[in-house]
Structure 1
Amino acid sequence: MNEDLEQYLSTSTKLDSIEVVWGEGTLPVKITTYLSSTLAPERYISSARSIVFKGNLVLLISQENGHQYILPGGRLELEESPLEALQREILEETGWTVTNIKHFSFMHLHYLFSKPDGFKYPFPDSIWSIFISEAVEYKPEMIIHDDWVDDSELRDIIEVQQLPLERGELLLFDEALKFREIRS
């Protein structure tokens, strides 16, 4: 691991760690979630995501297979900053513009496989920057339909806490609620 990434990880608070397998069972990845108000060195950031609030509501994403999650966002495009990617991805996926964007967490992905040909993301370590933000304006005409998002809706915070979300997402959600309280 490069020294600058190692330094960044060592100054952050570890929240959770899990090993998953992506790519139809061929791509093992160790995902460690941290709390940090500072961005990672940008050369490691491959994705920007946010827990999006609107008052006491939270933006919930549903996939066609029934899976639900609370971290809309996605990959950075060439020459795009994490904030630009975040705003673009949320608008394209959900139709919402966001403001009051604050970095509060990140996921460190450590790939446990050999680098495939054409792999265009930082390797063997990359970072998904995680923010909290507030939904401002809904623009349904801006939604670009794809395989990742079937639907999105604003749901009450208490309802979202009862959903069968991934453990890491629930931990992040609890931390995001605390972070919002501190900021208000």
Structure 2
Amino acid sequence: MRTQHAVRNIRLCTKDCLCLYVCPVGASDTENGQIDWEKCTGCGACAVSCPSGAISMMPDVLPAQQKKTEAVIHSLTALADSKMKEEAAALKTAADTSDQNEKKLAAALARSNRIMAEDLIREAGYMLPQSANAHELLVSMLDDPAGDFPVKTAEELIEMLKVNEQ
């Protein structure tokens, strides 16, 4: 029984296409850059052979979200909020200054704060696809979708992603 499957990061793929030659079931498709989930047996040959490191093996069943106390979640959320404000301030600085060195520094600070905020939000339980928080967030977005919100995709995700919490 398969326990994992291959996924490709298109941004890392250098089109060396060794995955095509080593996949015993032809699950790798370079036309659309995807790996056919249904064909993939999870052997990992493509991931081992990929010279650009664009293919990773993902477990078929994701682990349960680690429990956090309310105090920890509150702290993580407060820190994430501050990082988002700092990112906005850095972006404004980058837009307002004419000095190229200041623009570069402000852009770097904005990027750094974005990464920290994403990590904090993930740790608070909102970025793991199998968490109840992520599921509830998607459902709430469907209740009041923004203009170009991908409703059909969100509905498919809600159907596909099974909540896994203990």
Shorter-chain TM-score tier? under 0.3
**Which of the pair has more CA radius of gyration?**
2
Query: Scaled by the length of structure 1, what TM-score is found?
Result: 0.23
Q: Which has the higher strand share?
A: 1
Query: Scaled by the length of structure 2, what TM-score is found?
Result: 0.25
Which protein has greater RCO, CA pairs closer than 8 Å, 6+ apart? 1
